[in-house]
A and B are shown apart, each in its own frame.
Chain A
Amino acid sequence: MSLLTPLGLIALSSIIALIIIYIIRPNYQQKFVSTTYVWKLSLKYKKKRIPTSKLRNILLIIAQILILLMATAILTTPSQILRAQVEEPEVVIVIDSSASMRTTYDGKTRFERAVEKAKDVAETTFAKDGTVTVFLADDSAEPTPVIASAKRLDRDAFDAEIDSLILNDQCSFGTSDIEKSVEACAGIFANNPKTEIYVYTDTQYPSKAQGINVVDVTDPNEWNAAILSATAEKSDGYYLFIVEIAVYNRSQDIELSINVNGVNGNVSSNFSTVVSVDCINDTVMRVVLLSERDHSSLKDYYAKDALTTVSDIGSVYSFDNVSLSLLVDDCLAFDDNYSIYGGTPETLNVEYYSSEPNTFFSVLLDTFRSYYEKNGKWDFFPSTHREEYHPFDRYDGGNYFYIFEHVMPEEIPSDGVVFLFDPDVAPRNLGFTVIGTQQFENVNMSPVTVDTHYISRHLIADEITISRFQRLGVYDTYTEHVDEQTGKVTQTGFKVLLEMDGRPVLMIKDEGSVKVVVMSFNIHYSNISMQTFFPLFFQDMFDFFIPKTTEKNSFAIGETVTLRSRGETLSVRNGMDEEIASFDSFPATTSFSVPGSYVLSQQTYFDPYNIHEEMIYVKMPIEESNVFAVGNTLVNPYKTVVNEDFFKDLLLYFAAALVVLLFVEWILQAHDNM
């Protein structure tokens, strides 16, 4: 048996207190009686009756002393040793591999310094026949050791492996979770609670946990200037650029170079300027580049902020990219550059075919044009056609959305999405037939699909009334096919979204390049055009069939990027024009581990001749630019767990003995009072 808390033995002094209490027991209570004659007689009787009273008194004291001993034993946390602790030295090395560890000074990065120091500790440990385990702290959810339980005999292999961390550039461009790496040491602690942890990091920890040695690998002369973020916003049709920069561990003037390329649709046109910013240490500064047209109105607004520098740039209403660079020689270069993409919106052509064009549709499309012009999502071009549609191969890289009203084409176009509205007849080979007109007295529709489809999510069936619609005959029923190998889901047939009298009135078909929506009633015989959700229905169709590949054009290292595609596949290429990933099931998610520009390439369903490309920029996490960041308190949660692993807690038995003794003492006390 072992006492885990020997300090509890102090409680033994309570036995001395008990003896003192027995010695200085409270004085006898005085009672004046007429005579003690009978009491003297009774003594003889009592002695005769209870000869063991003295023994009982002794037992009572013994029981009380035993109770105090038990209580003291409980305080000392008595435990049974289950197995001997490992006595050999064991070291766990955790090397921070966050982007800030790439900070370079005097020819060496922090990461390299950390590896060198780790090798020194390993050398010392091997000299004592100890064991060394190395963790590389990154942002992974379940860190695993890069070198596990290396011993003296494995020294050569250990040296090779730890050197490879530098040779293979194992330092990341993202964040690291030191705490999680320390938690991953649980198994090692369970075997050897005397394990020492060495954490090599540049994060400053105000307080360190017991058993964790935090080694600071920073150099006081290091400093960093960084572009934290850059955005392009439209104001009155022209872009203004807002750039946030910061300098850490130094205050100095920084020059920011700005190059706007492909200005206003001219690939060879570019605007350039250099802005000097008087940066204050550890303070985010802002540079605002205003269009010459907006200069007078916005300059005063931004100039009110003392931390903002306002500069001019030419009038830009579209651009291919904006390249930003800090003209400095700091210790961390990976956050000195930035690129802004998405300055030229894609075109969305809406072709409205109708023998009798509907004014309502025309107004609706004009409203969309105004709306998209403001938010810059699309270059929206609606056009109305009274003539009959004749198929032709357009394939000019634009996106087309066809609306056919009443008069249907013989064959649907292959270069865009088709919306068939109140069809008189069904286009050839599309998979449905039109039987004829059916008339009602304003009856509400009812949705048939259990799961609301993306395009019908805003439709409220109860609020739609129609009095006449085209009865659709046989149509291809909707089925989903799951490829057992790839898990990819393909859909065929029409999926009914709304129906009336058991007949479909709204269907969708999404089979590769065939993307068709059929609405079988006229707005003249329905109130749908009066509903607020009708424009949203159109917007949902645009977004569903012609999705944006990414929600934005700038991401951080490790950030989850959701990818959508307008074609079968999508590939990702890096700045070296190397394909680093390819996807064929959407929406797909990915993340990037190296900063820089990436190209997202896809062959869309509607243009077999042109490759559609978009660019995004991936940058270091903002927090990594602060090369002297202060972290939270590092805790070692395994100190208490380890004891339980090596010792069996005997508290229960001592507590049971204490209860028994208390019961015996109570019985003795009760008998004593009888």
Chain B
Amino acid sequence: MKVSYLNDKFFSRLESLSFNLKSELLGYFGGRHLVKTHGQTVEFSDYREYQLGDDIRRIDWNLFSRFEKYFLKLFTDERQMKVQIFIDCSASMGRDNPQKQAYAVASAAAIGYLAVHNMDKVTFNFMSGNKTENPFGTIIGKTAFFSAISGLEALDFDGEDTDIKTCITTDRDMSRGNGLSVIISDFFTEYDWKAAVDYLLYMKRQVLLVQVVTPEELDPTYDGRVSLIDSEAVDSADPKNMKLRITRAMQKAYEEALRDHTLDMKSFCNKRGVQFLSARTDQPIEKVLFGQLIKAGIME
């Protein structure tokens, strides 16, 4: 049974929020994000001496009267950002746990809504295997966004294990330095997702990693002799499946492995200035969006 968090109440609470992005965007004009470059807005930024070729209409005559030098008055520029949302559509994200899928979709929708609300462009990139699909194209404006949302909800997460690195590095729509890239996944993969992050940083993009995990993954309750069937396994003979005798020692080892994995992710992100967010599906999604994202400084 499909689970959905997307409704009017959900989106209405996002109205008051906006992205807090870095100011080195190289995007196009027309957005709402103030950047360090100077433009034609009414917001004062700085002064500089007149140079040949400058428009003499921008000379500040008040300053000339005081210093007898020509100074130009500079204004900040506003750019449009492109938000790329990469969603891990492998079966581990939803085949056996609809809430996990719904959580990922809701997170993507929330980030996407913030983007279109701030006049930014949004792309939803669905990763599965080593391919990325962008069925909705670049979304600008709320009308296009809501039409895309219905398609987003109808999506089934049952793909094979996602090679995040290949998916992102081969994305043709990747542009340099013009916005935010969000990767939504559980990051429980043997593929090198860290290379994908490094690639995005190389492309001068701000990166946000959203890890969606279920309570069962954090604290598995089963014990005894258990045959673990991986949701991404092709058949019963797939090496991803495991037969284990889960004892208290095994559970403790699991906790340690999970803790080390999460610490490794956090350490990696801290070193590179990448924002990292881990969301438990048993927590209310509002708490994640309006708590953790704001606390992390991604939203304001």
Contacts and interface: CB of A to CB of B under 8 A. Distances in A.
A28 B240 CA distance: 16
A40 B161 CA distance: 15
A38 B246 CA distance: 13
A663 B227 CA distance: 30
Interface stretch (B58-66, B148-156, B166-174, B218-226): B218-226
22 contacts: A27-B227, A29-B225, A29-B227, A31-B222, A33-B216, A33-B220, A33-B228, A34-B91, A34-B95, A35-B217, A35-B231, A36-B242, A37-B190, A39-B228, A42-B253, A42-B257, A43-B253, A46-B249, A49-B249, A49-B252, A674-B248, A674-B249
Interface in B209-258: 214, 216-217, 220, 222, 224-232, 240-244, 247-250, 252-254, 256-258
A662 B93 CA distance: 47
A31 B231 CA distance: 10
Which bracket fits the contact residues of B?
35 or more
Interface residues of A, number: 28
A58 B194 CA distance: 43
B96 interface: yes
Interface in A409-462: none
Given A33-B230, A41-B257, A28 B249 contact: no
B242 A45 contact: no
A88 interface: no
Contacts, number: 103
Interface in B87-106: 91-93, 95-97, 100
B261 to A, nearest CB: 6
A30 interface: yes
Contacts of B283: none
Given A44-B257, A45-B257, A49-B249, A37 B228 contact: no
B191 to A, nearest CB: 11
B146 interface: no
Interface string A29-69: 11111111111111111100110010000000000000000
Contacts of B227: 27-31
A32 B233 CA distance: 10
A622 B228 CA distance: 89
B247 to A, nearest CB: 5
Contacts of B95: 34
Interface of A: 25-46, 49-50, 53, 672-674
B10 interface: no
B233 to A, nearest CB: 8
A424 B148 CA distance: 148
A46 B222 contact: no
Looking at chain B's contact residues, the main secondary structure is mixed
B256 A42 contact: yes
Q: Which 7 residue pairs spanning A and B have beta carbons closest together?
A: A28-B227, A45-B253, A41-B257, A37-B188, A46-B253, A42-B257, A42-B253
A31 B228 contact: yes
A37 B254 CA distance: 10
B229 A30 contact: yes
A45 B100 contact: no
A42 B96 CA distance: 22
A547 to B, nearest CB: 92
Given A41-B257, A49-B249, A28 B243 contact: yes
Interface of B: 91-93, 95-97, 100, 186, 188-190, 214, 216-217, 220, 222, 224-232, 240-244, 247-250, 252-254, 256-258, 260-261
A617 to B, nearest CB: 91
A673 B252 CA distance: 12
A32 B96 contact: yes
Nearest to B242: A36
A318 B172 CA distance: 150
B127 to A, nearest CB: 15
A39 B96 contact: no
B217 A34 contact: yes
Contacts of A37: 188-190
Contacts of B242: 36, 39-40
B255 to A, nearest CB: 8
Contacts of A25: 225
A672 B245 CA distance: 10
B92 to A, nearest CB: 4
A41 B261 contact: yes
Nearest to A41: B257
B96 A34 contact: yes
A36 B217 CA distance: 9
Contacts of A49: 249, 252-253
A37 B92 CA distance: 10
A35 B254 CA distance: 13
Specify which of A25, A37, A40, A41 lies most central, judged by the most chain B CB atoms within 10 Å of its CB. A37
B228 A46 contact: no
A26 B225 CA distance: 9
A34 B93 contact: yes
B230 A36 contact: yes
Given A28-B225, A45-B256, A50-B249, A38 B188 contact: yes
A39 B217 CA distance: 10
A674 B224 CA distance: 11
A28 B225 CA distance: 5
Contacts of A38: 188, 217, 254, 257-258, 261
Given A35-B232, A45-B257, 11 more contacts: A26-B225, A33-B96, A33-B231, A34-B231, A36-B242, A39-B228, A41-B261, A42-B256, A42-B257, A53-B249, A674-B247
Contacts of B96: 32-34
A53 B247 CA distance: 11
A39 B226 CA distance: 12
B92 A35 contact: yes
Specify which of A30, A35, A672, A673 lies most central, judged by the most chain B CB atoms within 10 Å of its CB. A35
